[in-house]
Amino acid sequence: TWQLGDFATETIAQIRQSVGSDRVICGLSGGVDSSVVAALLAEAIGPQLSCILVDNGLLRLDEEKAVIEEFSKHFQTDLHVVKAEEQFLAALAGVTDPQEKRRRIGHTFIDCFAGEAKRISGAKYLAQGTLYPDVIESGASRDGPADTIKLHHNVGGLPEELGFELVEPLRDLFKDEVRRLGLQLGLPEEIVWRHPFPGPGLAVRCLGEVTQERLNTLRAADAIVVGEIKAAGLYRATSQAFAVLLPVQSVGVMGDSRTYDDALAVRCVNTDDFMTADWSHLPYDLLSRISTRVINEVKGVNRVVYDISSKPPATIEWE
């Protein structure tokens, strides 16, 4: 088959040695990190691997379906899908504070994941796609000593709750190294080049209260933003591109009548390490297509704005 590089070969050997004949649970999100972890584990200890995908209802359009399809095409391991949309929406009802959203999503995720993990008998290890920048960021401070940069729910929390030992084969790697590794492991470009997506998902891109209706609006707009950037051949030239639904209404005209609908921000950045980033200088005709399509096709949005803030002082996400 394909030729694996030294890192992959050594890591697979290490995984086999440390895991022995025990079962390993791996959370799958559809992102490149968890997919590469799953691919490494499938290669190393395939029949002893159980993957869990928590469908939190905060994923992008058709994302869950795509993950399940890709996953079953590429791996023959045990996959558990936890349908938890209602639970997450209930936990988020009435919440507008970004860090509170993250906390609630984190707790709900742990509940769902742990509930499913307990049903998988004999599991001793938990695999996580923690990268080197996660390790740094989760301990560092942006807003002063009392506050961590973002509560990355994928770092910490789970293993202590569940009493598992951790397997973190990507802990020393940067994103570009993870992508190269994914390609070596035979993952499709579609997964390997997917822009990063935050654990709390669309909840932190739906500013203000998160409701089913607002999520649907955001999902539809986001699919147009990403679809047009892909169609322009610029997806790989950008690091992260997405829509943000603002809790702001503004006046518009539609035919003879006045509208008072939501505003949508388009965020697209270029970055090497996600610690600093510049806004992407997208062509005006592309921005124009995005704006026209969103306003025409997404009900409830009558204004599109482009975010031209760099990080720092802004962050990539709006929450």
Tokens of 165: 């030992």
Helix (H) / strand (E) element for 143: namely none
Exactly one of 200, 264, 294, 295 binds ligand XMP (CB under 6 A); that residue is 200
| Cross-strand partners of 277 | 311
Nearer to ligand XMP (CB atom), residue 87 or residue 315:
315
Helix (H) / strand (E) element for 279: namely strand 278-279
Helix (H) / strand (E) element for 93: namely none
Report residue 121: phi and psi, to 5°: -80, 145
Exactly one of 16, 103, 289, 311 binds ligand XMP (CB under 6 A); that residue is 311
Round to whole Å and give the CA distance between 177 and 272. Answer: 12
Identify residue 264 by its one-letter amino acid code: L
Query: Does the footprint of ligand XMP cover residue 152 (CB under 6 A)?
Result: yes
Query: Does the footprint of ligand XMP cover residue 150 (CB under 6 A)?
Result: yes
- In the complex, minimum distance from the CB of residue 277 to ligand XMP, in angstroms, rounded to a whole number: 7
What b/e string do you get for 298-317 counting C-beta neighbours within 10 Å, with b at 16 or more? Answer: bebbbbbeebeeebeeebbb
Round to whole Å and give the CA distance between 44 and 19. Answer: 10
Is residue 25 within 8 A of residue 188, CB to CB? The reply is no
What are the Cα distances from residue 112, in Å, to 77, 88, 106, 317? 20, 10, 10, 25
Nearer to ligand XMP (CB atom), residue 27 or residue 198:
198
Query: Does the footprint of ligand XMP cover residue 245 (CB under 6 A)?
Result: no
280 assigned binding-site residue: no
Nearer to ligand XMP (CB atom), residue 16 or residue 311:
311
Round to whole Å and give the CA distance between 164 and 146. Answer: 29
Among the listed ranges 55-63, 147-155, 164-172, 177-185, the one in contact with ligand XMP (CB under 6 A) is: 147-155
34 assigned binding-site residue: yes
Query: Does the footprint of ligand XMP cover residue 307 (CB under 6 A)?
Result: no
30 assigned binding-site residue: yes
- In the complex, minimum distance from the CB of residue 246 to ligand XMP, in angstroms, rounded to a whole number: 16
Residues 102-141 that bind ligand XMP (CB under 6 A): 102
Exactly one of 75, 88, 274, 279 binds ligand XMP (CB under 6 A); that residue is 274
Residues 87-106 that bind ligand XMP (CB under 6 A): 102
Binding site for ligand XMP (CB under 6 A): 102, 149-150, 152, 154, 196, 198-200, 240, 274, 311, 315-317
